[in-house]
Structure 1
């Protein structure tokens, strides 16, 4: 295409005096200048390398009568890339290895840096020590006033760290509690075995925390790894088997965002009616600000932006789009985003998480509040590659959203997080519906990597959330490092939530846990095969904490319920079964002593008669004793994203 052409032809004319445009930015400029304004921008296949984010404002949608569509040309795949191609590769010998290298003047001049590289369409590995797995911290050298103050150094174990010729570009990734810490290396003392950092950890570190090192020259020792030397302005790459230097396509991200849909909700001016259809979004890069004292955020990597950002967007849609190979979250619906839809999208290979809705801030002006958004039939997977604490879908101070029929997997931290008020203070996170989602391999990935973090859930909630319902979901294979690999996790102040008709199995620390909260209902669920204990209730409080009724709990160990157990929880009409038939423990009580306290008076300990639970078949046989207790069977085979073939734009 050519940006001097009209853009009203799909192909150039014979005279090559008119045809399609070259850039989507020019298409948006012409939209503002045209009478009547077009309502559709059709994108031919190929890669559009963006020099800056594509910005859509209320002026664009007002001109297009609030029905602007940016869509893939039928049968073609347009790709928006925030990356730059690395060229000028040469083969040479470096540190005793045959490597390919390229000069990058912008890196040497301090105008560009990156932590990701994509070679021939695949994410390459930043030079890492060790190549697989993790090292364990041996000891802490400094005390802190409390656990919320971090450390700037620790002692490593003998033999863990080899001699490095340079560490000026190196980073240490330390995993502590429920966050990662990305800490620039300041010094290595081999005599005292001390690593020192240019930032402090977010929280106080703990002996035994896991870590690894990145971007050190001698760590470049495996095919597919790369090392970036800032002082040389040079990129080194160790090729994979079968790669040829003359065919190499290497792309490094340069932009933090690809698309910004930005209204002024405080003025009542929204970007309305924009539809993105069939577009692929790739290659973003974002780093912690240099002035930030810590190496990460307090939870969920919430401060990491998204490749696609919306603020003051209303009734906009992302349909059958793909977000991949990014160093950030995928899509963010921020301040004042209302009644938007993300449907049928593939969001994967992520530096952080999948989708963010809302913000940590409570907005008093309804025009600035975020609500009524839908994420449906999306596959969100393979995240946390740079920011391990990021989650599949994060909702903060936002209400009446719908998360329906999504598949979320392979994150190091939580699958879905809803809340952002700790405790019983004011909260906007109510009335959210979480239904028919399939969330699995959280904490520990399906390739066996992890767990590295703690205190997570398949779903995690915070604060007062009257009207939030979690139902008909499938949660499984959830693992925490030190503690806290739970299926359904009601954390601080969770109130007014209903969890029903969920199947939860293979967790490390329990199918259900409530830290503290008020008047939650957990009913008609199946919890199975937790490793340490089946159910946990932590903080006693002087009000009804939760009701647990008509659930089936299946396991193999003795401890059924653990934590701070008091009279302000209600258990009844449940069916429990330990597969070896031995006793169950509820706190320090056996089942009869537990019943004598007025709990589970009508419940039973007997085989529920599942079809084949060891293989994941939790259908009940017709003669199951659970039916007599009022248990209603539910079908989780429908959980997860429903795939549909992408064809043309749905009208």
Structure 2
């Protein structure tokens, strides 16, 4: 009997488990049950249940198919060594069904009126900082109120924490105070602990690696009940577990779907440096509703300006050949994808990122891999104590990883020190065919020279540095081992020990065939110490190209529309090369005494600009003249066969291969605004235009000269200044004649606009005018 009973049990065991062990496809559906087998007819209910079954499957590859619907997670999905047991895994939406992995939780609300405009409901469970009604994000109660047209933080006020404002708050503990860095280099965020002697006691401010006073103008507060005064706003009373909402017109809260943020991560793919996770693919998933992370632990990233939260909706840590593809990331409180520590051949492709609190895609190595690592701008390791071995100490950094064919926009919604693609302590990262726009700071940022070899190509990046300043559409730093905060010390150090220069920046970073536009800084900004770059075949549409102190950089065959080359504080014998480029303005050098290895064979717009360069002893073989672009109005800046650019060695390159190529993403992407070409021929054609929202025109003929009392027929007349123009903030008036701008002659509307473009990022411009035949100098706020 016992033998027969044992046999029956064994048969039953095999019947239950062998089908599971033999199959390599698991199916999950919101209508399933985690007690099911995981077949397409008997699906599981949660992705976590499917992951827990992987280790028992015999096959070496497992695919988890998610059926359409939203999966609200109560904890992040973890794929680690134990769960995967050496298998490769794909997690994907079945046949392109719409699948959402949400870090939020649904709220079964019972609403009642609190006031005429405000409703309330009890919400038990963890606290939260993001609210979604019918899938749309709502606004945490704030002052000043949300303004979609405001440049910074969607609205700021100088009196955000004034005594008068503070006096209105009955219980502000737990509220937030946000402000830009004084230099507009990012943002700071604080939690209000209490009010003491009429002033807020603040906790925070660790989100930027270049400490500075707070900006006096660009600041706001949120999460105080008394600021709940506009449609779309909400407030959560954590003590009484009560949610208050001021709904938009037409929203019926009693039937609306209510969801709040809950988790900070959605998927974590985590191996160890010794045993990385291999071959995980996540495909066709929409990631939403992570919690904000601005008050979490932030880590300094060497001597760059950055601090960073080392996490995201997807965290990949110690992986190889792991890929996120064809996915969407939106309504996230922090970073979207964080690729942290050792990662090889892993990355993100063909995905869509929008409406994100911080950065989109981050490649961030571990500082343990950096020899003689220094943290903070003013820190340094003395030469005698410095590890002088080239390259990294270990492999705990991303290498041969990629961000390719992605659409990224409207990121950095709360954290302004953020970017589309961030590269720190990494090697040979491929950033290709991405379209990135409407970002508060850089589209692509490289924080150091460790360890180079990146390839940045065929990207389309515009509407950048929208809320900050002193930056670029592409930005980099290179404060590597040779760097010292005292320039004289650094000069003597690199002169005595030139081998230090490329100890970290070992491999050349190549930037080619990109299109950049930054109207508030430089299109390409190689800042402090950025070294070992080859930059060619790029179109810069507005901000030009900047080389601040660094070594061994070559910029050739680039087109700098309406702008020029900005060499700043160069080293002696730096080995820099600038050749075969088309520039449309004179150079803008600052403290350059040694002009590098070669600055020559460039095309200038006119003889004056060429002679200004030749006065420095450079550009002896350069030429001037109209570049003769084929079709500048439609973005084709190839030159005609008669162009003088061909005589200085310039070669045409493709103008139709910038940005995302995936058709579904390309169809919804906004297009770059092409600039009006500010060249000599336009000066003759363009007589009037709109400038900063005002109507302006050239001085024309003896009649204008007589009417305005002018000594000649040069200058720009302000015809009309509508209330919508930013010039209403200045003291300019209709009828003023602008003669000079920032001490340059503004002879016509084209020259005035060309001057503005050089200084737009600074936020202000000084103009000299004639009013009633009397000279005046007026400052104009450009922001």
What is the TM-score of this pair, normalised by structure 1?
A: 0.81
Q: In structure 2, do the counterparts of structure 1 residues 360 and 490 end up closer, same or farther at CA, with 3 Å as the change threshold?
A: farther
Within the candidate set 583, 588, 594, 1:567 is matched to: 594
In 2, the alpha carbon distance for the partners of 1:293 and 1:104 equals 33
Q: In structure 2, do the counterparts of structure 1 residues 89 and 605 end up closer, same or farther at CA, with 3 Å as the change threshold?
A: farther
Within the candidate set 47, 54, 72, 1:24 is matched to: 47
Q: Give 1:173's aligned residue.
A: 178
Contact 2:139–2:232 (8 Å) recurs in 1: yes
Mapping of residues 481-630 of structure 1, within 5 Å: 485-507=521-543, 511-530=544-563, 534-544=564-574, 546-555=576-585, 560-569=587-596, 570-577=598-605, 583-584=608-609, 591-592=610-611, 594-611=613-630, 613=632, 616-630=635-649
SS of aligned partner of 2:330: strand
Within the candidate set 68, 72, 78, 1:45 is matched to: 68
Q: In structure 2, do the counterparts of structure 1 residues 600 and 293 end up closer, same or farther at CA, with 3 Å as the change threshold?
A: closer
Deviations 1:42-94 (A, max 9, x none): 11111111111111123444443xx3211111141221111111222414133
In 1, the alpha carbon distance for the partners of 2:249 and 2:78 equals 41
Contact 2:101–2:286 (8 Å) recurs in 1: yes
Q: Give the structure with the higher percent strand.
A: 1
Contact 2:559–2:582 (8 Å) recurs in 1: yes
Q: CA deviation at 1:303?
A: 2.3
Deviations 1:355-382 (A, max 9, x none): 1113251525544332011211111221
Q: In structure 2, do the counterparts of structure 1 residues 360 and 632 end up closer, same or farther at CA, with 3 Å as the change threshold?
A: farther
Higher relative contact order (CA 8 A, sep 6+): 1
Aligned residue pairs total: 572
Mapping of residues 88-99 of structure 1, within 5 Å: 88-94=109-115, 97-99=116-118
SS of aligned partner of 2:100: strand
Mapping of residues 318-397 of structure 1, within 5 Å: 318-359=324-365, 361-363=367-369, 364=392, 366-397=394-425
Q: Unaligned 5+ residue runs, structure 2?
A: 1-31, 370-391, 481-504, 666-783
Deviations 1:615-634 (A, max 9, x none): 64433233221111111112
SS of aligned partner of 1:592: helix
Mapping of residues 130-279 of structure 1, within 5 Å: 130-131=144-145, 132=147, 133=150, 134-135=155-156, 137=158, 163-176=168-181, 177=183, 178-186=185-193, 197-200=202-205, 202=208, 203-205=211-213, 208-265=216-273, 267=274, 269-279=275-285
Q: Determine if the alignment matches structure 1 residue 127 to structure 2 residue 148.
A: no
Q: Give 2:37's aligned residue.
A: 6
Decide which moves more: 161-170 or 254-263. 161-170
In 2, the alpha carbon distance for the partners of 1:592 and 1:185 equals 58
Q: CA deviation at 1:452?
A: 3.4
Q: Give 1:475's aligned residue.
A: 516
What is the TM-score of this pair, normalised by structure 2?
A: 0.68
Contact 1:169–1:230 (8 Å) recurs in 2: no
Q: Determine if the alignment matches structure 1 residue 34 to structure 2 residue 53.
A: no
Q: CA deviation at 1:217?
A: 2.2
Q: In structure 2, do the counterparts of structure 1 residues 472 and 170 end up closer, same or farther at CA, with 3 Å as the change threshold?
A: same
In 1, the alpha carbon distance for the partners of 2:512 and 2:397 equals 25
Q: CA deviation at 1:390?
A: 1.0
Q: In structure 2, do the counterparts of structure 1 residues 28 and 374 end up closer, same or farther at CA, with 3 Å as the change threshold?
A: same
Q: Larger Cα Rg: Structure 1 or Structure 2?
A: 2
Contact 1:46–1:79 (8 Å) recurs in 2: yes
SS of aligned partner of 2:178: strand
Q: CA deviation at 1:502?
A: 0.8
In 2, the alpha carbon distance for the partners of 1:500 and 1:160 equals 53
Deviations 1:465-519 (A, max 9, x none): 532100100111342xxxxx21111122211101111111223xxx111221001
